[in-house]
A = this chain, B = another copy of it.
C-alpha cells in the first residue's frame, strides 16, 4: 500500500526525494537522532509501528533496531507547517546512537 495521495501531495522533499525526520523520545522529550524518509519509509512508519528510514549511505530501507535490537516504537508522527520536516515521537529501546550513546547528540557539545 502506498502513501495516501493527499499526504504525499503535501510533502516537500529534498532533491533526493527525502524528508528529514526528527526523532524524539515521547516521554522525556530527548531528541534522539535525525533520520530521512521517502514516501515508502513514511508509509511503513505510519502503518507498522516501527520507525523506518531511508539510509542515504547504504541506499536501502532501514527498520531501526532490526540489526541492533534498539527498536523505536512509533507513538506519534507530525508534519511541520511547511510540509518539509517530520517529527516522530517514539519509545526508544536502549541506545538510539550506533556508538552506544542514548542519543546521537550526547558526545559533541559545541557550545
Interface residues, chain A, with chain B CB atoms under 8 Å away: 7, 14-15, 20, 22, 24, 28-31, 33-34, 46, 74, 76-82, 84-87, 97-99, 101, 104-105, 107-111
Contact = CB atoms under 8 A, between A and B. Distances in A.
A70 to B, nearest CB: 14
B31 A31 contact: yes
17 contacts: A7-B110, A14-B14, A20-B20, A20-B34, A22-B34, A28-B29, A31-B31, A34-B80, A46-B111, A78-B105, A79-B110, A80-B105, A81-B98, A81-B99, A81-B105, A85-B104, A87-B105
A23 to B, nearest CB: 9
Nearest to A35: B85
Nearest to A29: B29
Given A81-B97, A81-B101, A85-B105, 8 more contacts: A22-B34, A24-B29, A28-B29, A34-B84, A34-B85, A76-B111, A77-B111, A80-B104
